[in-house]
């Protein structure tokens, strides 16, 4: 069970455009949501496929877990939902597939990936009834339309299944729901256009453990310049690219911690400024560290748009001196090679082997991937690792061509690896 209680906004994707669903998901991601619950229980195939396509798009835009609620009639439906990158698939009790399908899903993916959504007003469940879903392969019960009664308290307090509550927070209180030790999360649409961090700070004061930004070192322990400022080096949290350098005073630092958005002190204007307030190019805090002398902050952020006022991604684009060197950072090398492959795909170059593969199509690319995989097996039997090195490099190149052909990039792959931890 998670140590922190979770606030999980839900988004009803039924009769909504994919664009509006993706946009709202991004807003929640940036404003303090711990995860998202997106659902479309429409039974027709077309709506389900459109919903799955929207989930795949969302997975590329957000960096928090999300749960997918949809009509599951076959094993393949659950498989497709989880393959979008969803952490869990949610199935409504009223729409349960046949037992054979449920068992196949549970056997393949495990209880941790499966949630059952139960309408407690239509079909109240006791602790024993809730626990029966554990035997059916569900690890989590999502309870909606609840009444905060003694009967409800007994059911959730004595159940062994993980409990999340879905509620609009019109009649019920967020803090009261989360006060139950067995309730891990509240799923709600209450926080659309509202400050989730503010709600979390209120919960924290009530003694409810939630994830908020808290400075582990007092600002008074920072070593400041004569004008009370400390420099901040800002990096992209995914690539470690240095984006900019700015300054903070105590007030801007406190506002950054409170809002989760990078806020600085302008030495020229003598005032606070939130990055992106006028341009929309916000910087969302992922991590902040203090150096060994306590006189410089390193901030890792999710950068929206450009960091520099010139429109450049980074403020550091003016080359001063340079010595040629071999770049061996694995992520940098693979992403740069992939970028070149995509460049060839979008702007073909005569005589390019990469374009030859794209022109021949998926069957040729797959054939080459198979051949290179076989070469790896053969080379691995040779005691000389040099040959194996070359064959692995060949395979990685052809694999990236395949990724580009199928619309995948390295972030898709690394996210999937993280999901498997």
Residue 189 is part of a domain; what is its CATH number?
3.20.20.70
Q: 415 pLDDT band (50/70/90 cuts)?
A: confident
Integer Cα distance of 343 and 110 in angstroms: 40
Question: 190 and 223 in one domain?
Answer: no
Integer Cα distance of 283 and 235 in angstroms: 10
Integer Cα distance of 98 and 114 in angstroms: 15
Q: 118 pLDDT band (50/70/90 cuts)?
A: very high
- Asked whether residue 132 is domain-assigned, the answer is yes
Residue 390 is part of a domain; what is its CATH number?
1.10.287.1080
Burial (Cβ within 10 Å: 0-12, 13-18, ≥19) of residue 250: middle
Question: 352 and 295 in one domain?
Answer: no
Residue 240 is part of a domain; what is its CATH number?
3.10.20.810
Per-residue pLDDT, 257: 96
Give the DSSP letter of residue 221. G
Question: 111 and 33 in one domain?
Answer: yes
Q: State how many domains the chain has.
A: 3
Integer Cα distance of 248 and 334 in angstroms: 35
Question: 147 and 247 in one domain?
Answer: no
From 178, 205, 232, the end of a domain falls on 205
Question: 199 and 74 in one domain?
Answer: yes
- Residue 15's φ and ψ, nearest 5 degrees, are 60, 20
Residue-wise pLDDT for 173-193, tens only, equals 999 999 999 999 999 999 998
Residue-wise pLDDT for 197-247, tens only, equals 999 999 999 999 999 999 999 999 999 999 999 999 999 998 889 999 999
- Asked whether residue 79 is domain-assigned, the answer is yes
Structure tokens at 120: 């407690």
Question: The domain containing residue 106 runs over which residues?
Answer: 6-205
From 205, 233, 263, the end of a domain falls on 205
Question: 349 and 299 in one domain?
Answer: no
Question: 132 and 85 in one domain?
Answer: yes
Structure tokens at 40: 């479309």
């Amino acid at each position: 069970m998670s140590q922190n209680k979770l606030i999980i906004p839900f988004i009803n994707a039924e009769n909504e455009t994919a664009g509006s669903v993706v946009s709202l998901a991004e807003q929640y991601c940036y404003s303090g949501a711990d995860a998202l619950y997106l659902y479309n229980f429409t039974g027709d195939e077309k709506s389900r496929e459109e919903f799955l396509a929207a989930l795949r798009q969302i997975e590329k835009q957000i960096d928090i877990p999300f749960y997918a609620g949809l009509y599951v009639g076959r094993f393949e439906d659950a498989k497709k939902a989880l393959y979008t990158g969803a952490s869990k698939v949610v199935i409504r009790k009223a729409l349960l597939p046949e037992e054979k399908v449920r068992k196949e899903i549970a056997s393949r993916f495990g209880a941790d990936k499966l949630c059952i959504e139960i309408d407690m007003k239509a079909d109240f469940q006791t602790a024993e009834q809730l626990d029966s879903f554990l035997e059916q392969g569900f690890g989590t019960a999502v309870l909606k339309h609840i009444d905060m009664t003694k009967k409800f308290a007994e059911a959730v307090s004595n159940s062994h299944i993980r409990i999340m509550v879905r509620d609009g927070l019109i009649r019920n209180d967020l803090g009261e729901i989360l006060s139950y030790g067995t309730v891990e999360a509240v799923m709600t649409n209450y926080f659309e256009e509202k400050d989730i961090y503010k709600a979390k700070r209120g919960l924290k004061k009530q003694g409810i453990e939630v994830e908020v930004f808290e400075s582990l070192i007092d600002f008074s322990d920072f070593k400041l310049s004569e004008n009370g400022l400390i420099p901040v080096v800002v990096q992209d949290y995914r690539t470690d690219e240095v984006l900019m350098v700015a300054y903070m005073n105590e007030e801007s630092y406190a506002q950054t911690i409170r809002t989760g958005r990078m806020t600085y002190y302008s030495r020229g204007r003598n005032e606070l400024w939130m990055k992106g307030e006028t341009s929309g190019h916000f910087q969302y805090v992922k991590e902040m560290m203090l150096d060994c002398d306590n006189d410089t902050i390193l901030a890792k952020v999710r950068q929206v748009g450009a960091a520099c006022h010139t429109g450049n991604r980074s403020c550091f684009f003016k080359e001063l001196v340079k010595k040629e060197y071999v770049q061996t950072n694995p992520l940098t090398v693979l992403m740069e090679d992939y970028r070149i492959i995509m460049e060839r795909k979008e702007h073909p170059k005569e005589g390019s082997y990469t374009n030859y593969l794209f022109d021949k199509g998926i069957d040729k690319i797959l054939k080459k991937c198979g051949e290179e995989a076989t070469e790896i097996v053969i080379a691995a039997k040779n005691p000389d690792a040099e040959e194996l090195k070359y064959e692995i490099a060949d395979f990685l190149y052809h694999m990236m061509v395949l990724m580009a052909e199928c619309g995948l990039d390295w972030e898709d792959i690394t996210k999937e690896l993280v999901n498997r931890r």
